[in-house]
Amino acid sequence: MSEIRVLSKEVSELIAAGEVIDRPASVIKELLENAIDAGATVITVEIKNGGRTYMRVTDNGKGIAPDDLPTAFLRHATSKISQKDDLDSILTLGFRGEALASICAVAKVDVLTKRRADSYGTHYAIEGAAEKTSEQCGCPDGTTFVVRDIFYNVPARLKFLKKDSSEANHVADLVSKLTLSHPDISFKLIRDNKTELITAGDGKIYSAVYSVYGREFANSLIEVDYTWQGIHVSGYTVKPLEARPNRKFQNFFVNTRFVRSKACAAALEEAYRNNIMVGKFPACVLYIDVPPNTIDVNVHPTKIEVRFSDEKLMHEAVYFAVKNSLTEKDTPGEIKLDTGRNYTDHELYDFPPEDKSVQLEFAVRKEVPAENTSPKVPENTEEVPAEVYTDVFADEERPLPEPPEAKTFTPKITKVENIPIDEERRKAGDDLFLAELDVHEEPPAPKKQEKVTIEEINNAVKEIPLPEYTEEEKKDGFTFISDRSFIRSVVQEVRHEPEKPKPVVIGELFKTYVVAQAGEEMLLMDKHAAHERYIFEKIKSDISELDTQMLLEPVMVMLSYEEFDALAANLDKMSRLGFEVEPDVAPTVAVKGVPIILGDSENPTDIITELARNFIQCRHDPQLEIFDDLYHSIACKAAIKANDNNSIIELQALLNAVYGNDKIRYCPHGRPVLVTLSKKDIEKQFRRLV
């Protein structure tokens, strides 16, 4: 009897479905990708009991023809590709033709679909890959899939599902990823009859990020937009101080497809190296546009992984894009002050107790007293009409009505609101009362500065007369450095580009934080963090090539074959790092020398293995973590400490070295070096500005 047999269609369908559908979120993923490929602009997802009993996906896409519905549920039936060459230029999310066949093999499916050109829609029902119903019906344009009782015919798979809340969270996470990858589509997620997520679909990435992750996360992002050798990287990455405790907020989209990529993740984290706290991980929403023929999206049944034709190029594109944004747009931290009022006017000012028995008089006077800027209010006068009362600040030449007969009254404060006030002048801080008296003169409007061409600058420089020095002055040490600085100042004046304000140390707070002023900003600098990072950068820049200490006997290190190939291809970089390595019989290498800076305490086996992994990850600058730790230790020990006694001259020199240096924003451990507070915010706290 033959031992090899062909499996029945039912069994083979269940086995094939197990590769694609393993939980309710897998069903939602396949249906959403089909809806997106169908050109939908509005998609609604509804689940109940974590999707175990009920799932619905509704879209306004192009719909399915009635004759194509039975074919759509056959395995390897697809409208996305037709020949093998199409695999080299796939731009759709789905293409394998296994989604609907896998779903109907393990669940009960109902489809309502209608094309815009059709008068009627179609209702199609299928259970366990067997057709149940096919009939005309009335329905809106687009397609609605209703999936019930997943794994009803596979009890072994059903019992491995997690709690309903956990399965629902997987669905929500999936919808969030697709929302971020397609901000031009309006998504709506309904979970157990409650709307959990809704997006605008306005095409703005920031709007999608705001809807998914909230305001706090969105406000912590830095925009990324960079092109490297044909690869365009855009989106957002998080500020180093707002890093996350895990990697769950790292989102990479390759040609609008959400993927997991070790090369992209390694490049992202390398860009944050030495700028992020230990135990924290960067978050991002990055979109990578590459030519379709340079990636292979057919390496995983669920298409969650892709393979790049040039991993190193992809690594460099992400690294340079993120590093460039951090360098240019990650400004020093700004102190956020609470602008709310935690007190009332009666708590702030000492008001006299209200006495309703006091009666006031009002008499209009032509002359305003010089000593008191507010008009006197004599007693026992009659109430004045609103137009007379509001003309207190009127011009002297304007005729005023005769005051009526004296009569007691209680003035209403609300009448003061009728005084005409120039809001722009009030916000600018002008004294409106003196302005009404013609005491204050408006400053002349600033002249509009015109742009100056480079030729005009060069001509202006040529016409500058240089100072002439006598022989005695030259002997006394006069040089032409002053001439250059003079020319520079004149050129900047011609170009109307004032110099960046220089920071000036005001004092020190708690013997730890340096207080300084730069223009209209107050600076607070952590002197230990600043000095530590300054020393760290100086050590790294001075050690471009490390000296090698030869070993008495070579140390044989066995690697994996992949690590061996990566190391053998980068022997020149190993030499610059101070390692003398020779490939032996694969996968073994002979370590003949190590950097002197490591000393005798480190195991060459662990270090060589770490370097090989760095080369596999295509790191642009494959420095060892142990080197950084060593540099950190040297810098930390050599830097000034909190509570040290330092003179103003020392602190000023340190501030000059740090201020404006893009490399010195965080200490090697990720703590900020400098924070700022603007003059405007300070004036708001003292109510000088409203």
CA distance 55 to 392: 72
Burial 260-284 (b: 16+ CB within 10 A, else e): ebebbbbbbbbbbebbbeeebbbbb
487, with CB counted inside 10 A (0-12, 13-18, 19+), is middle
- Residue 601 sits at the vertex; the CA angle it makes with 595 and 602, to the nearest 5 degrees, is 60
Res. 339: pLDDT tops 60: no
Identify whether the C-beta of residue 408 lies closer than 8 Å to the C-beta of residue 380. Answer: yes
**Average of per-residue pLDDT across 660-666:** 84
Res. 494: pLDDT tops 50: no
pLDDT on residue 122: 94
pLDDT on residue 377: 46
Work out the mean pLDDT of the chain and round it to a whole number. 76
**Average of per-residue pLDDT across 93-111:** 82
453, with CB counted inside 10 A (0-12, 13-18, 19+), is exposed
Q: What is the CATH number of domain 9-197?
A: 3.30.565.10
pLDDT in tens, 451-469: 555 565 556 545 555 555 4
Identify whether the C-beta of residue 153 lies closer than 8 Å to the C-beta of residue 126. Answer: no
Q: What is the CATH number of domain 503-690?
A: 3.30.1540.20
Stretch among 122-131, 172-181, 196-205, 632-641 having the lowest mean pLDDT: 632-641
**Average of per-residue pLDDT across 343-353:** 50
CA distance 79 to 96: 10
Q: Which range in 7-21, 166-180, 296-310, 565-579 is most confidently predicted, on average pLDDT?
A: 166-180
* Residues 427/430/433/439 CA torsion (nearest 10 deg): -160
Residue type, 121: G
Res. 71: pLDDT tops 80: yes
pLDDT in tens, 34-53: 999 899 999 999 999 999 99
CA distance 388 to 394: 10
**Average of per-residue pLDDT across 523-536:** 90
**Average of per-residue pLDDT across 89-114:** 81
Strand, helix or coil for residue 203:
coil
Res. 525: pLDDT tops 90: yes
pLDDT on residue 181: 92
pLDDT on residue 113: 94
pLDDT-derived band at 2, boundaries 50, 70, 90: low
Element (H, E) at 48: strand 42-48
Sorted by where each begins, the domain ranges of the chain are 9-197, 220-330, 354-441, 454-494, 503-690
Backbone angles phi, psi at 93, to 5 degrees: -75, -40
Q: What is the pTM of this model?
A: 0.64
pLDDT on residue 465: 53
pLDDT in tens, 319-338: 999 999 998 888 766 676 66
pLDDT-derived band at 523, boundaries 50, 70, 90: very high
Q: Which range in 174-188, 296-310, 534-548, 567-581 is most confidently predicted, on average pLDDT?
A: 174-188
**Average of per-residue pLDDT across 99-119:** 90
466, with CB counted inside 10 A (0-12, 13-18, 19+), is exposed
pLDDT-derived band at 572, boundaries 50, 70, 90: confident
CB atoms within 10 A of CB 463: 8
Q: Give the DSSP letter of residue 220.
A: T
Higher pLDDT, 290 or 427: 290
pLDDT on residue 289: 92
Res. 427: pLDDT tops 70: no
pLDDT-derived band at 276, boundaries 50, 70, 90: confident
pLDDT on residue 434: 37
Q: Give the DSSP letter of residue 264.
A: H
Stretch among 178-187, 293-302, 395-404, 597-606 having the lowest mean pLDDT: 395-404
Stretch among 20-29, 201-210, 600-609, 676-685 having the lowest mean pLDDT: 600-609
Could you say which of 3.40.50.740, 3.30.230.10, 3.40.190.10, 1.20.120.1200 is the CATH number of the domain covering 220-330? 3.30.230.10
Task: Tell me what percent of the chain is helix, strand and coil, each rounded to the nearest 5.
Answer: 35, 20, 45
pLDDT in tens, 363-409: 444 444 444 444 444 444 444 444 444 443 444 444 544 544 544 43
CA distance 527 to 644: 10
Res. 500: pLDDT tops 90: no
Res. 178: pLDDT tops 90: yes
CA distance 185 to 432: 52
pLDDT on residue 22: 86
Identify whether the C-beta of residue 78 lies closer than 8 Å to the C-beta of residue 90. Answer: no
pLDDT-derived band at 55, boundaries 50, 70, 90: very high
pLDDT on residue 279: 83
